Amino acid sequence: MLADALQQSGLQPFHLPMGIRLNEALRHKSPCIRCETCDGFPCLVNAKSDAHIMCVNPALEHSNVTLVTNAKVTKLETDASGRTVTRVIAERNGQTETFSGDIVVVSASAINSSVLLLKSVNEKHPEGLANSSGVVGRHYMAHHNTAFIALSGVPNETVFQKTLGINDFYLSNNEWGYPMGHIQMLGKSTHDLLKAEVGAPAPRFTYDWIAKHAIDFWLTSEDLPHPDNRVTLNRDGEITLDYKVTNGEAHKQLVQKLKDVLHKIHCNDKVCYCNNHIFPDKLFLDRAIPLAGVAHQCGTVRFGNDPQTSALDINCKAHDLDNLYVVDASFFVSSGAVNPSLTIMANALRVGDHRCPVLTHGRPRAMARRTNTARSMKSRLRKLSLRRDWCSKAKFMTWVASCTRMFQDSRDVTGSRL
């Protein structure tokens, strides 16, 4: 087994926490059927514990929740003082519609949330809403990600292989001396996925052979915040993303480290990585995710205590407005090197707790319902994070470190040793 081989090489691989609704004890009651189109595909049997299944659908069971679909919010308008958002302007089915509420929460991803704020200029906010500091759209981060394939000498019959992670190189306690990042398994390659990704004509058996022998990895390194890495609008109102690589050397080191580790693993009946492989330099295929791959985007509406250097306060309310919140990954001041989803969820619950007494003042029943719902969601997150069969201490501590770093002042990357 790959996990055993990695342990024998001196590493500490751990089981990944997976949001999969899989009941292995009672398979006939399991929503998950362990198909080969899990990672990277929508689940047609609703077996993923994603926002749609775990949050949106349960919320819609309440009579005071309405989901408006096919709507694109184009602008936020304020009152004459500029302190309160009074109208949310949206385009829906070719028509302009207006919405309003006591509290307005923006959560449209780091790119689109900043774009919405930049578009919402008025006399009181000439540079866009929540942008008196000038940081909205700046400090864009999206992780350095690489999809990596190791070719085994024997077929890899695994169907669902996204089960292992390696954090041995996450911190600076390695021979290089600086943090490199996180390594985990990736969903299994298929003929069609390889053909679409490579884009080059080849006999079908070529892609079939690679897919059958592939062991797939995903490597993530931290993207450092820089004010010149930013989201802007051009004269035609189109989104422009200006970006210069930061911390690229760390990711190169991580990719090379995985190659070195796999070269040291000896052959057995399950896996074969041989130093005397007939094509030692062709054993690995890797491809960095380009700028257009904006997964894990964050940092464009950062929070902090100083209104001069941040757009949001520590509760993710805009410094410049009284009723505007941003609760997606835009608030990040650093990105860590793991998937940001758990941090986004944890922060959303934190902000919800902060707002709950205000939203439900004078309505104790409603408050009780919302509080119980929040507690239930927290319980789910806690179980997801702490159950030993889902998540090792190494993974949990990485998540805690990621959350903790959000509340530290962002560092000045000028002169960074990386």
Candidates 246, 335, 327, 326; CA nearest to 297 is: 335
**Long-range CB contacts (< 8 A, 24+ apart) of 255-261?**
255/146, 255/148, 255/219, 255/286, 257/169, 257/174, 257/180, 258/148, 258/183, 258/217, 258/219, 259/284, 261/6, 261/9, 261/11
Tell me: do 206 and 261 sit in the same domain: yes
Task: Kindly state the tokens that stand for 319.
Answer: 């410094």
Contact between 186 and 39 under an 8 Å Cβ cutoff? The reply is yes
Res. 177: pLDDT tops 70: yes
Candidates 301, 295, 293, 318; CA nearest to 231 is: 301
CA distances from 248 to 274, 292, 337, 405 (A): 29, 17, 13, 20
| pLDDT given for residue 265 in this prediction | 78
As a whole number of angstroms, the distance between CA 10 and CA 25 comes to: 32
Tell me: do 181 and 251 sit in the same domain: yes
Mean pLDDT to the nearest integer, 135-151 = 94
Residue 379 belongs to a domain with what CATH number? 3.50.50.60
| pLDDT given for residue 62 in this prediction | 94
Are β-strands 214-221 and 182-185 bridged in parallel, bridged antiparallel, or unpaired?
antiparallel
| Percent of all residues in the chain with a pLDDT value above 90, rounded to a whole number | 54
Tell me: do 107 and 243 sit in the same domain: no
**pLDDT band of 51, cuts 50, 70, 90:** confident
Tell me: do 274 and 165 sit in the same domain: yes
Are β-strands 85-92 and 214-221 bridged in parallel, bridged antiparallel, or unpaired?
unpaired
Residue 4 lies in a domain: no
- DSSP annotation of 123 reads S
Tell me: do 86 and 161 sit in the same domain: no
Tell me: do 147 and 284 sit in the same domain: yes
Mean pLDDT to the nearest integer, 350-376 = 59
Q: How many domains does the chain have?
A: 2
Residue 390 lies in a domain: yes
Residue 161 lies in a domain: yes
Residue 283 lies in a domain: yes
Domain edge (last residue) among 266, 288, 310: 288
| pLDDT given for residue 299 in this prediction | 97
Residue 272 lies in a domain: yes
- DSSP annotation of 141 reads B
User: Which residue, chain included where needed, has tokens 């996990």?
Assistant: 3
Tell me: do 169 and 191 sit in the same domain: yes
Residue 187 lies in a domain: yes
As a whole number of angstroms, the distance between CA 329 and CA 126 comes to: 24
Residue 30 lies in a domain: no
Whether the predicted model's global pTM rises above the 0.85 cut:
no
**pLDDT band of 389, cuts 50, 70, 90:** very low
As a whole number of angstroms, the distance between CA 357 and CA 54 comes to: 24
Mean pLDDT to the nearest integer, 204-215 = 85
Res. 395: pLDDT tops 80: no
Mean pLDDT to the nearest integer, 119-140 = 97
Chain mean position to CA 242 = 20
Tell me: do 174 and 266 sit in the same domain: yes
Tell me: do 127 and 165 sit in the same domain: no
| pLDDT given for residue 358 in this prediction | 62
Res. 279: pLDDT tops 60: no
Candidates 77, 49, 217, 67; CA nearest to 149 is: 217
Tell me: do 282 and 149 sit in the same domain: yes
| pLDDT given for residue 193 in this prediction | 81
Of 144-153, 229-238, 362-371, the least confident: 362-371
186 CB contacts (<8 Å, ≥6 apart)?
39, 147, 148, 161, 162, 216, 217, 218
Contact between 324 and 125 under an 8 Å Cβ cutoff? The reply is no
Res. 275: pLDDT tops 60: no
| Owning domain of residue 326 | 69-140+297-406
Tell me: do 336 and 385 sit in the same domain: yes
Tell me: do 131 and 112 sit in the same domain: yes
- Element of type H or E holding 232: strand 230-233
Residue 41 lies in a domain: no
